[in-house]
Structures are given as C-alpha cells and as structure tokens.
Amino acid sequence: RLKLSVHIRSILVAASYAAKPPCWTSHLESICLPQPCQECTCYSDLTVCRQIHCSNPHCDFQKGQQLRILPNQCCPECVSLSQDSCQYEGKTYGHDSQWSPSPCSVCVCSKGRVSCTLLPCPHVTCPRNQSLTECCPKCGRKSCSWEGSTYWEGEEWTPNPCSRCVCREGKARCSVVECQPVVCRPVSPGRCCPQCRASMSLCLQHGEQWQKDDCTTCVCERGKSKCHTNTCPHTKCDKGEAKVRRDGRCCEECVPATGSCLYQDAVRYHGDMWNVTGCQFCTCNQGQVVCRTAECGRVECPQVTHLLS
C-alpha cells in the first residue's frame, strides 16, 4: 500500500485493472482501446486511461436519419432510414438494426422484415422439488437461515465487522476477515481492520489510478507513484468562437460563442453531444437541448462467443 497526501479534488478513477493494462504496443504515446468507451495512452512504462467523449455526428433527423451505435463501439453515428426499415410496436428501426423487446428475446430488422428469436439458454436439470425460474431456466435457489434471517444461495453478509459469511449449498460458511497492513495512521474506530482517514490521505493498491488534478494522472506501482502531466497545445480560435476549458478537462478548446445550453447545472455548448443513460444521447442546438435514443447495430457473434443483452 502507498500513503499519498492528495489534492482535495483527487479522485480514484480506476481500480479494476493492473498498472499496465494490455496495450497493443509499448512505443511512446501509443494508443489502445481496452474498453469501447475508454482510450488508453502508453507513455513509456506508464499507461493513462481516459473516458472517450463522443462528438456530435450532426444527423439530419428531419430527413429520417437516426443515431446508431455499431457493435462494440462507444459513440453513435448517423444512418439513413430507407424502404428497408421496419415498423415494430409503433417504432421505426433501420435496416440491420437490432433490439430486445423483452429480456428473453432479440429482434433484427433485415430489408423491411422483422425476425425475433429467443436468447439461447443452457440445458438445466433441476434436482427434485425445485422448479425452473426467470428467463433462462434456473433451478430454484437454496437458502440459509442465520439468526432469524434468510439468505439465498451465493449471498454474502457480515454478522460483525470482523467476519464474513456466505450461503453455500444451504449452509452458512463463515470466515474471519484478514486485515491487510497499512502504512497510514490507522483511524475509523468501530471497524475490524485499520483504515486511513479519507479526507487527508488515500491508501492505494498496486495498479490503482487517480487524478491529481485535471492535467495530471498518477498510478500506484509497487509502492511508488508514477505521474504523467498532459501538455496542452496553443489554442487559437476563429471569429465567432470562444476559448473555454471545460470542467474536468485539461486543455482549452474553441466553442461557438453563442447558443449554449444549461443541462442539469452544467453548461453545454452549441453542437455538443453527451450520453445521458444507456443509449440516450442529448445535443445542444442553439440553446435548445434535444435528446434521442440511439438504436443498436446488428451483432453477429462468432461461434466461440455469445450475445450479452
């Protein structure tokens, strides 16, 4: 673990990957895409990952264009509806688009025709006195009783700060929590294991990444911090543009001087696009916020993979 006194705005942004996520090349400033909405840059032996911000493809919705997200992609693009589009339950879907009307089915529009299939489910044989449940067949789960409470198969609970239990095959299996050593000054009374005071310092595991400020990203690697500070190019704006630095961004950029929008207490500029939830994207158009739902491109999985809805 590593004790770090951090800026008050420092936040832990990624803790689920090693200090060196797999880049396709280790050359200076090479780019890799470990996830559809994340872009990583390799700076010698330091890898810095940031979220991708989608640009507005400027679809002509009045002419029937729609937003579509291609398989394994993050940002939508414009597609034109044609005579090959499909109507399904009052909605229009473009050719080669795909959607799930229910958790157990997937539909595809192909040349004006809709075909729906059930998601493939594995074969399940249940023991006696158990029934099939949910979309794909599953056997009724076993449960455990503990001090008057019922816990389902696989469910975990903590009877006290220093122990953890899990329900396995109808029986409660408990173990004592193993505390990891900390180099910070331990605080937080009433807890089983010593912890660090979050407002003053953070104890970070090997591979965890955090933002020291908007321009500096650091990684904890084997007890030492490695940081990279982004350098910004000179920005010269054209007539009718204004120079701004967005919240959470490092470098200044040019935006239209007029036509901005206020959305959930955040300023958006004319032409901006941002993701709201799932497949919904909003744009700022001359002071007006317009939100639309992007359709999904058709996914054809190889035989060794399966579709995730």
pLDDT 10s digits, 126-144: 554 454 555 665 556 677 8
Residue 30: predicted pLDDT: 47
pLDDT score recorded for residue 137? 58
Average pLDDT, the chain: 74
pLDDT in tens, 87-103: 888 788 888 888 888 87
Say how far apart CA 117 and CA 109 lie, in whole Å: 12
DSSP state of 132: E
Render the burial of 24-35: b for 16+ CB within 10 Å, e for the rest: eeeeeeeebbee
- Mean pLDDT of the region 142-155: 81
Average pLDDT score over residue span 49-59: 86
The Cα 225–Cα 200 span in angstroms is 17
Q: What pLDDT does 44 receive? A: 73
Q: How far apart are CA 100 and CA 119, in angstroms?
A: 10
Mean pLDDT of 47-53: 82
Q: Report pLDDT digits (tens) over 249-285.
A: 889 999 999 999 989 888 999 999 998 887 889 999 9
Predicted local confidence at residue 203, as pLDDT:
67
Q: Report the distance separating Cα 32 and Cα 47, nearest Å.
A: 10
Mean pLDDT of 13-27: 38
**To which residue do tokens 């809805």 refer?**
309
Q: Which tens digit of pLDDT belongs to each residue from 174-204?
A: 887 666 665 555 555 556 666 554 444 566 7
Question: Residue 301: which of 35, 33, 72 has the closest Cα?
Answer: 72
* Most confident among 34-38, 75-79, 161-165 (mean pLDDT): 75-79
pLDDT value of residue 20: 40
| Of 72, 129, 73, 54, residue with least CA distance to 283 | 54
Task: Using the predicted structure, report yes or no on whether residue 66 has a pLDDT greater than 60.
Answer: yes
Q: What is the CA radius of gyration of the chain?
A: 25
